[in-house]
Structure 1
Amino acid sequence: MGNGSKNKDYLVQGTILVIASFVARVIGMIYRIPLTRILGHQGNTYYSTANEIYAIILMISSFSLPLAVSKLVSERLHKGQKKNAHKVFVCAMKFGLVAGGIMSLLTLALSGVITKFMKFEMAAYALRVLSPAIFIYAVVGVLRGFFQGHETMVPTAVSQVIEQIVNAVVSVGGAALLIGYGTELGREKGNDSLGPAFGAAGGTLGTVVSVTVALLFLLFIYVSYQRSFRRQMRRDHTKRLESDQVIYRALIATILPVILSTVIYNISTIIDQGIFGGIMTGQGYSEKEYSTVWGIFVEFKVLMNVPLSIASCLAPSVVPSLTASMTDEDYRAAGIKVRDSIRYTMVFTIPCAVGLAALASPVMQLVYGDSSALAAGIMQSGALMIVLYALSTLTTGILQGLGEMQKPLIHSAIALVFHIIVLVLMLNFSGMNIYSVVYANIFFAFVICVLNAWAINRAIGYHQELRRTFIIPILVSGIMGLAAYGTYRLFTLFAGVLFPAVLAVLVGAVVYVALLVKMRGITERELRGMPKGNYLVYILQRLRIL
């Protein structure tokens, strides 16, 4: 465990997952461009509402399975218990099939009730289409967790990319096909919301098909490695095999805190939407008016998910590694992993957030064709939200890897209470409309970050390094943002939006990397420790940056 390369394996595996997730998020962002234009703001709101409800149901039924399986498999493999590790997989699969099946049927039956409560009743069509994906994802989650427990993120990474490609094609095709049918039906029934509602349902069909394809791919990988798994288990001379009851208890003990903390952490979006819709209705806005504004906020959240992919991928990759360190009671190694994962995330997330703020208007124009001041304003106001959500997501995963399963639940619950109070007060008294939702979310993530930092310190005596993790990246990102914005404004005098925006991104990237290296925000040794680090160092040396 003292081996330096081993200590960096989780970063390499995390980077593989980050790259794949980044590619998947970019594909997701790209296909949302035609999808949004097909659906319009109203249809996009129905589509997003159904997906947010689907995400919450997944969190309750099976979203926690990859992390739980990964943690339990990793613990047993670290002790050399190959048979018990595989038994965890079998029990988790049974659990996932039952939980996923029940939640899938309940979603199908109660979709109308749920969306009516959310004040977006027409989203029920899309939610019904999504219901089978809940069952399928449970199986996918167990398979991904099993591979992650073996400290390989490649099957998860590849399946995510395949999933997103299929999703892109089927979603756009399904939306285009069904929105026409819904529009015609709406004319007959005198309901002009049926077109956007059916279009949203067609869009969600992509999720069902893509998760099915991802499942087939993971099953193929699992079957391909059956001989290797059996050979490993034959070499395992563990005298005492765990009973099914012991494994189920361990699964539930791991899953329940993760489910509850994840639900509370993510349910804020559903609560925000309900509160926002209710208060806007009370202030005299129609559903079409406030759903259109909410749709613009959703556009920002889709873009926000691209830089957030770094934290959301690094968190599961660091869990098995931290679990191994805590099993050995090696708190020094655990502290190094915490430090490196937080630095890694901040060095990439902070410039992404600043870059999106600096180029808010051109990005929204290019991605969504939205040149409104509101779209750019939400992007600029939400930059800090991106950084804080990335940090809170990562530190939640770190606490779970440290075995502090209850802490994220408590912290999310405390933050949610304050979040709701702040949101209601701002919506009623500030007059800031949708910006109230942005600022309330910033406060929510900030509270979790503070509480998580305190808990990590209590668990392993860790104090976060500030200068190279936060101060230098923030300072360098500020200069980068000014350079990117200046480049964009200069070249818009001679061209449209696309060329100046692309050039501004390239200039910003070069400025950020050059200054980060010059100010020793990242060292040559750290660069070499990254995937393809030696090649990166060679390029920087050739450019005389390093």
Structure 2
Amino acid sequence: MAKTPNEKQSPEGDLREGAAADAILKEDTADTSQEDMLKGSAWMTAGSIFSRVLGAIYIIPWMAWMGAYALQANALFAKGYQIYAIFLTISTAGVPGAISKQVAHYNAINEYATGRKLFRHGMYLMIAMGVVSAAIFYFAAPLLSAGDARMIPVMHSLSWALLLIPMMSIMRGFFQGYSKMAPSAISQFVEQLARVIYMLVTAFLIMKVIHGSYVSAVSQSTFAAFIGAIFGLAVMMLYYLSQRKKLNLLSAGSYNRVDTSTNELLIEIIRQALPFIIMDSGINLFYLVDQYTFNPMLGHFMHIGRDQLDSYYALFAANANKLIMITISLATAMAVTAIPLLSAAHARHDVKKMSEQISNAIQMFCIIMIPSAFGMSAVAKPLYILFYGTQEYTSLGILLLEFSSYVSILLGLFTILAAILQGLYQNRTAIADLLIGLVVKFALQYPMIGIFHVFGPMISTAIGFGIVSWLMLRQLNDKYHIRVRQTNHRLIGILVFTILMVLGVKGTLWVLDLFMNPAFRAIDIIELVIAIIVGVAIYGYLILKTRLADLILGARVGGLRRRLHIK
């Protein structure tokens, strides 16, 4: 458990004020923890899904405007973003997640003023970290490019976003500590919208109007992260200003038993933040292994040129990964919601509630993530053609997307389990498990590429995250006694319903292909819409009819069943 600073006795007047202030928060959080998690997950899922879909849809015109350089441009974009993602995690220093967890901890014991103080000093730290990380990323670009001169302007353009995103992230973490997920979701969507608009406008002007270099177009597309950050930060600042009166009242009613100095708060922030740096970088660290090893390793087996190696890399690291991140964002949304809820239960030493919330989080993950991943695999062909058109490697790209969809379940499971462990202050356990998986990934990379070629990196990633997830599940069960039998029974139902859904979707696509030519994007859109409606209808009907949705998502789902006249 986290160390708490020295406590001091509160007068009775402060207790009465604290109770009154606590009531303000309770009026917004009167639901059960299961409903809190569902409500928070709904907001974060909506924000993540809309942002990810928007971030994927832009690729249709963007790659079309890149013309013959489409795969090379997408590979360059993906390589720049993989390194940027690591720097972004370091620049935020894991502070947003730590702030969310610690604010929830202090709120649970009516120490709102301490949470505000923690946020204020965390903001100063984020400003400094943003400046330092942006400078390092900018000047280290020639070294990080690994001899590829095209990477340098891309990394230079990405470094500017590091100045603003840390501040925006800590504001999101602060409100997530209050279980307020709507501001984060809205700001995330606005950030992505501004980013995509800038990307498309500059890509069109450079490639189609002035007929410039695709490297310049990619550089402007990555600079769009800075433009998006401006708008996302503006949304969070406006929300903070609108909530200041309420936050001040809550702070005024704190018990004020916690006596902290500035140094103690900064040490607490850093101590809680360091594990988040490592865990938040988990997936990107695996991808970074691919970025620096795939070309030389595959080149050793296939003896092909750089452009073809980049094309193969783009198929799984850019094309497939961009689409599966839509489903992985579901797990990320639930992870963000789970941390403050678990931290609050931990602060109250409520072991039964912790066990219940862990089981709820895992079951909620399964009922949403599994059908989403299987569904994406089922519609991989029209989905891939819609986004990337028909090219030289289209058939291979479709197969890679199908396989990546299944791998995304393990990536999502790691995300939610890592969040649970961090919310319960099991940071060392989470880090040790991740490092074991990373060693396995690195050890298997060369033989897997040698045997399976382009599929090799995904297979080594799946094995690595599979081992990490198994270790985390075993440790959580040993310490908190997850409802294993209940979870397994419900998982069986989810898998059965998912398989029935996939059969329905595959059958629908087979029938549609008899009358339509899926090589055209307009036809793909029609097929996708019909297939998705069929899949949602089959799966939705089954989980509502059997009351499985009620058991996992809460009693409120019954209202949906009644409106749909499902008995």
TM-score when scaled to structure 1?
0.92
C-alpha displacement of 1:263: 2.7
Structure 2 counterpart of 1:328: 348
Cα distance change of structure 1 residues 120 and 487 upon mapping to structure 2, 3 Å threshold: farther
Letter in 2 for 1:213: F
Matches within 5 A, 1:33-72: 33-39=60-66, 40-62=70-92, 64-72=94-102
Larger mean CA deviation between 59-68 and 234-243 belongs to 234-243
Who is 1:166 aligned against?
194
Q: 2:296 aligns with which of 267, 272, 278?
A: 278
Q: Tell me the secondary structure at the aligned position of residue 221 of structure 1.
A: helix
State the shift of 1:205 in Å: 2.1
Counterpart of 1:187 in structure 2 is none
- Most deviating of 461-470 and 418-427: 461-470
Checking the alignment, whether the CA contact within 8 Å between 1:11 and 1:341 is kept in structure 2 is no
Structure 1 position 440, deviation (Å): 1.1
**1:494 equivalenced with 2:515 (yes/no):** yes
C-alpha change, 1:529 and 1:247, in structure 2 (3 Å) is farther
Partner of 2:441: 419
Q: Does 1:290 align with 2:309?
A: yes
Displacement of 1:314 in angstroms is: 0.8
Instruction: Kindly provide the amino acid, as one letter, of the partner of residue 313 in structure 2.
Output: W
> Would you say the 8 A contact 1:65–1:255 is kept in 2?
yes
Select which of 519, 533, 542 maps to 1:515.
Answer: 542
What's the CA shift for 1:535?
4.1
Match of 2:10 in 1: none
1:477-501, Cα deviation, whole Å (9 max, x unpaired): 1121111111111112222333233
C-alpha distance in 1 between matches for 2:195 and 2:91: 22
In the alignment, the residues of structure 1 paired with residue 161 and residue 210 of structure 2 have an alpha-carbon distance, to the nearest angstrom, of 23
- In structure 1, the residue matched to 2:3 is none
Q: Pick closer, same or farther for the CA change 1:12–1:277 going to 2, 3 Å.
A: same
Q: CA deviation at 1:381?
A: 1.6
Aligned residues: 526
In the alignment, the residues of structure 1 paired with residue 508 and residue 124 of structure 2 have an alpha-carbon distance, to the nearest angstrom, of 56
What is the aligned partner in structure 2 of residue 250 from structure 1?
A: 268
Change (3 A) 1:142 1:502: same
* Superposition pairs of residues 69-468 of structure 1, within 5 angstroms: 69-116=99-146, 120-179=148-207, 184=212, 195-283=213-301, 284-297=303-316, 298-370=318-390, 372-428=394-450, 430=451, 432-464=452-484, 465-468=486-489
| Counterpart residue identity of residue 434, structure 2 | S
Question: What CA RMSD, in Å, does the superposition of the two structures yield over aligned residues?
Answer: 2.1
Evaluate the alpha carbon distance shift between residue 79 and residue 173 of structure 1 in structure 2; reply closer, same or farther with a 3 A threshold: same
Q: Is the partner of 1:492 in helix, strand or coil?
A: helix
| 1:219, distance to aligned residue in structure 2 (A) | 1.0
Amino acid at match of 2:236: L
1:224 aligned partner, one-letter code: S
Deviates most, 460-469 or 479-488: 460-469
**Equivalent-residue separation in structure 1 for 2:500 and 2:175 (angstroms):** 41
Q: Deviations over 1:393-429 (max 9, x none)?
A: 101000011111111211110001011111111123x
Give the drift of 1:526: 4.9
Q: Deviations over 1:171-225 (max 9, x none)?
A: 11122233469965xxxxxxxxxx2221111111221101111111111111222
| Preserved contact between residue 83 and residue 241 of structure 1 (Cα < 8 Å) | no
Higher relative contact order (CA 8 A, sep 6+): 2
Inter-CA distance 320–435: structure 2 relative to 1 (3 Å threshold): same
After TM superposition, give the deviation of residue 165 of structure 1 in Å.
1.0
By how many angstroms is 1:231 displaced?
A: 2.3
Q: Secondary structure at the match of 2:180?
A: coil
Instruction: Give the 3 Å change call, closer, same or farther, for CA 110–527 of structure 1 in structure 2.
Output: closer
1:239, 1:475 → 2: CA distance? 52
Is contact 1:112–1:121 with CA below 8 Å preserved after alignment?
yes
Distance across 1 between alignment mates of 2:352 and 2:395: 49
Counterpart in 1 of 2:532?
505
Letter in structure 2 aligned against 1:293 = Y
2:152 and 2:492 mapped to 1: Cα distance? 46
Distance change >3 Å, CA 150–CA 3, structure 1 → 2 = closer
Amino acid of the structure 2 residue aligned with 1:55: A
User: Per the alignment, do residues 354 and 6 of structure 1 end up closer, same or farther by CA in structure 2, a change over 3 Å counting?
Assistant: closer
The amino acid that maps onto 2:192 is: Q
TM-aligned CA deviation for residue 36 of structure 1: 2.6
AA paired with 1:510?
Answer: A
Question: Is the CA contact 1:182–1:199 (under 8 Å) kept in the aligned structure 2?
Answer: no
Q: Distance in 2 between matches of 1:486 and 1:239?
A: 64
Q: Write the distance in 2 (CA, Å) between the matches of 1:319 and 1:478.
A: 31
Which runs of no fewer than 5 residues in structure 1 stay unpaired?
Answer: 185-194
* Residues 34, 554 of structure 2: 8 Å contact kept: no
The whole-number CA distance in structure 1 between the counterparts of 2:313 and 2:549 is: 39
- 2:59 matched residue in structure 1: 32
Matched residues in 1 for 2:512 and 2:133: separation? 53
Among all aligned residue pairs of Structure 1 and Structure 2, give the percentage whose two residues are the same amino acid: 21
Measured in 2, the distance between the counterparts of 1:370 and 1:251 equals 50
Letter in 1 for 2:329: S
8 Å CA contact 1:258–1:409 kept in 2: the answer is no
Please say if 1:482 is aligned against 2:482: no
CA positional deviation for 1:446: 0.5
Contact persistence 1:382–1:438 (CA under 8 A) = yes
Aligned to 2:14: none
Please say if residues 160 and 223 of structure 2, whose CA atoms lie closer than 8 Å, have aligned partners that are also in contact: no
1:493/1:34 CA distance change after superposition, 3 Å: same
- 63 and 473 in structure 1: CA distance in 2 versus 1, 3 angstrom threshold: farther
CA distance in 1, matches of 2:113, 2:547: 47
Question: Which secondary structure state, in structure 2, belongs to the residue aligned with residue 485 of structure 1?
Answer: helix
Cα distance, 1:125–1:468 mapped onto 2, change above 3 Å? farther
Query: Contact between 1:68 and 1:255, CA under 8 Å: does it hold in 2?
Result: yes
**Residues 507-545 of structure 1 deviation map (CA, whole Å, 9 limit, x = unaligned):** 12111122233455333x655545xx35412233x2x3x
Partner residue, 1:192: none
Question: Conserved in 2, the CA contact under 8 Å of 1:262 and 1:409?
Answer: no
Deviation readout 1:29-82 (Å, 9 max, x if unpaired): 111222233330001111111111110111112062211111111111111112
Q: Supply the distance in 2 between the matched residues of 1:355 and 1:265 (Cα, whole angstroms).
A: 22
Task: Tell me, yes or no, if the aligned pair for 1:261 and 1:413 is still in contact at 8 Å.
Answer: no
* 1:476 maps to amino acid: F
Q: Distance in 2 between matches of 1:275 and 1:179?
A: 31
CA, structure 1 residues 232+364, in 2 after alignment: closer, same or farther (shift >3 Å)? same
> Which of 493, 505, 526 pairs up with 1:472?
493
- Contact 1:176–1:202 at 8 Å: present in 2 too? no
DSSP 3-state at the match of 2:449: helix
Name the aligned partner's letter for residue 41 of structure 2. G
CA contact (8 A) 2:509 2:531 kept: yes
Q: C-alpha separation between the residues in 1 aligned to 2:123 and 2:80?
A: 26
How far the C-alpha of 1:132 sits from its partner, in A, is 1.2
1:280 Cα deviation after fit: 2.7
Distance 1:54 1:157 in 2: 22
In structure 2, distance between residues paired with 1:313 and 1:477: 21
Give the Å deviation of 1:264. 4.2
